[in-house]
Amino acid sequence: MTALSQRIESFLREKKCALPEIGLLQPAEPILNTAGEDIRRRIFITADQRGRDLCLRPEFTIPVCLSHLESGKARKRYGYVGKVFRQRADEPAEFLQAGIEDIGTEKKGAADVRCLADCIDLLRMLGRNRLSVAVGDQAIFEAVLKSLGLPKAWRERLGRNFGDSTRLTADLDRLSGKNNGSLDHLAPELARAVEAGDREAVEKAIARDMKKAGLPPQSGRTAEEIAARLMEKAALAAAHLVPEKREVLEAFLDLDMPLKDANRRLWSFARRANIPLGKALEAFHKRAVALEKLDLDNVSLRYRAGFGRTLDYYTGFVFEVRGGSSDAKPLAGGGRYDRLMTVLGSRQKMPATGFAVYVDRVKPKLKETPGTMEARP
Amino acid sequence: MTITIALPSKGRLKEKALEVFAQAGFRIELPKDSRSYRGSVKGRPEIEIAFLSASEIARELIAGKIALGVTGEDLARESVADPGTFLDFACRLGFGGADVVVAVPDAWADVTTMADLDDVAAGFRRSHHRPLRVATKYWQLTQNWFADHGIALYRIAESLGATEGAPAAGTADIIVDITSTGSTLKANHLRILRDGIILRSQANLIASKKIRLSREDRAVLKGVCRQVAEAVAAN
């Protein structure tokens, strides 16, 4: 282990984190199931003699969460430092990452604040003092969608692409157009049942089609599920996103300001657009106040309403830290991923938040601290 | 110096390829020994013919081991992540046509477009505790196409034959496969999505961008491409 890794480990211990043993080789299945097929091209996959897919550890969050689940503990904070392996366009595929995962802490606001504070501390320890942080919050976006009275199917689609402005614009275009789902491909009998709103008949017709095709009834989509979505689609077929609501959404996504102004600006936005954001804003405000109380010497905090992560297990507060606001690549990123533990098989919901530092991008210059060696990267 | 042109070693693709080359003025002499996979072109000693399987032709072109080949566009695009840096699709040959498509069970009455599939894939894990599964042998084409449509939450279940049977067998939910008439899909109660045509494939004359050729050989290669393209256009 290098002196740099040792120094980071003692930092993590000072932060009262457990340091679990996470192997270089990880089962690929949970990672592919969680992040989706697309990640296959970015990780290094191999197989063992029994044909089980393994991969070189592409990140720490999922393995840490899995080991937490196995431990059966309710809550714990974990720290890690080590090599991760990902195929990247213009950076080495093997690089050092360090971070903290805080699993099971119910006081979400406090955990969010601590997460960002620890991240800033770690970057400072590595010699980076001037930092600019962008924060976002999926919960606020979802509150906006809800208070605009958008149908659930639309909210889910937009929520899923939150953080990807290109995709979001394409969604808005599609929803703004008329005829979002044509039903003219349906067999006449089924079409009549849909038109009559006869849920039972729709379900029956679909079940019959499934049987005819020999689809196994135990796996995959059920007739009930298909019927429900078909009816919902039919109900929305003629609907479209009206320009006034689209304007509100676009105005929201454009909000970008110092975090200390965010609360006031969000309130006035909500008032002007005449949408109640009360609850979501309260949590946002409390967290923002706590964040402003941190030692923020040389650190600028900005809120960007459109900033989020497209992975579906991220649910709320997210952040990204750069050395200067013009840096192309972030030095660190983090956020709340309350849905991940259930995706990985937890029966109970388990709130979780964490961050990862790209140690190589930081180009660490360690300060001499008593009792530790000075390290060169 | 010689350049090697690879042609499909059997079936309709082979016959059609020989036909097009004959129309272009290349009389290909088949190997006298039926176990040999080498042929020649009458009066053109600088050209050598290799008979290979269609998927092998794609791989050899990508590796830069042969200069020119005839193979399906689907196989060529499937064999490498960024075909454009390895392959020069010189000309479409007008035969071997088939589409690579996304097809869902016909009973999925609510799914007619990729956008529908996106919605379904996103909600799938919540209701079934596993991601949506796609049976296919076309990994690259599927990954690119799904990524272009913003669909990340799915898994590929590799299928090396009878892909159309995967949904009924319960090994996958939907498929990405090649079809020429659509009748196999229909017989299996599968329906192509309206915007689910990934590639309209046909046999292509393809040059390797990875092979190093002398100036003379390069000229021979260009000449062959031009003559074949003219013959196809005249058809």
Tokens 């970015």 -> residue:
A42
Q: Which residues pair with B192 in a beta bridge?
A: B103
The answer to whether the CB atoms of B109 and A226 lie below 8 A apart is: yes
Looking at residue A178, its pLDDT comes to 65
Q: Is the pLDDT of residue B34 over 90?
A: no
Strands B132-136 and A53-56: unpaired
Looking at residue A276, its pLDDT comes to 86
Q: Confidence band (pLDDT; 50, 70, 90) for A370?
A: very low
Comparing B30 with A121, which gets the higher pLDDT? A121
Report which listed range, A151-160, A298-307, B120-129, is most confident.
Answer: A298-307
The answer to whether the beta carbons of residues A56 and A25 sit under 8 Å apart is: yes
Q: Is the pLDDT of residue A184 over 90?
A: no
- Report which residue type is found at A288: A
Sheet with B28-29: list strands edge to edge. B28-29, B38-41, B47-52, B3-8, B68-72, B203-208, B87-92
The answer to whether the CB atoms of A233 and B127 lie below 8 A apart is: no
pLDDT digits (tens, 9 = 90+) for B204-222: 999 999 999 999 999 999 9
Average pLDDT, chain A: 91
User: Which residue, A133, A113, A140, A104, is CA-closest to A286?
Assistant: A113
Looking at residue B32, its pLDDT comes to 77
User: Interhelix angle for A138-147 vs A243-253, to 10°?
Assistant: 160
Residue B61, φ and ψ in degrees, nearest 5: -65, -45
Given B123, B128, B168, which is nearest A214 (Cβ)? B168
Least confident of A58-62, B61-65, B146-150: B146-150
- Report which residue type is found at A336: R
| DSSP code string of A236-300 | HTT----HHHHHHHHHHHT-EEEHHHHHHHHHHHHHHHT---HHHHHHHHHHHHHHHTS--TTEE
Residue of A nearest to B119 (CA): A157
In B, what residues contact A, Cβ < 8 A?
81, 105-110, 112, 115-116, 118-120, 122-125, 127-128, 130-131, 134, 142-143, 146-147, 150, 152-156, 167-170, 173, 188-189, 191
Least confident of A194-208, A248-262, A313-327, B56-70: A313-327
Mean pLDDT across B47-54: 94
How many C-beta neighbours within 10 Å does residue B194 have? Answer: 13
Burial of B233 (0-12, 13-18, 19+ CB in 10 A): exposed
Looking at residue B31, its pLDDT comes to 79
Residues of A in contact with B122 (CB under 8 A): 156-157, 160, 312
Looking at residue A373, its pLDDT comes to 44
Residues of B in contact with A212 (CB under 8 A): 107, 189
Residue of B nearest to A38 (CA): B152
The answer to whether the beta carbons of residues A353 and A335 sit under 8 Å apart is: yes
Residues of A in contact with B130 (CB under 8 A): 33
The answer to whether the CB atoms of B107 and A40 lie below 8 A apart is: no
Q: Is the pLDDT of residue A179 over 70?
A: no
Q: How far apart are CA B166 and CA B212, in angstroms?
A: 43
Looking at residue A180, its pLDDT comes to 54
Least confident of A337-341, A372-376, B1-5: A372-376
Q: Confidence band (pLDDT; 50, 70, 90) for A369?
A: low
User: Which residue, A301, A266, A330, is CA-closest to A135?
Assistant: A301
Average pLDDT, chain B: 93
Q: Confidence band (pLDDT; 50, 70, 90) for A279?
A: confident
Tokens 């400072």 -> residue:
A124
Q: How far apart are CA A318 and CA A314, in angstroms?
A: 8
- Identify from B106, B108, B110 which residue to disrupt to test chain A contact, counting A C-beta atoms within 10 A and taking the largest count: B110
Looking at residue A377, its pLDDT comes to 43
Per DSSP, B173 falls in state S
pLDDT digits (tens, 9 = 90+) for B87-128: 999 999 999 999 999 999 999 999 999 999 999 999 898 889
Looking at residue A372, its pLDDT comes to 45
Q: Confidence band (pLDDT; 50, 70, 90) for B44?
A: very high
Looking at residue A375, its pLDDT comes to 45
Tokens of B199: 């590639």
Report percent pLDDT > 90 for chain A.
Answer: 72
- ipTM of the complex as predicted: 0.86
Looking at residue A218, its pLDDT comes to 79
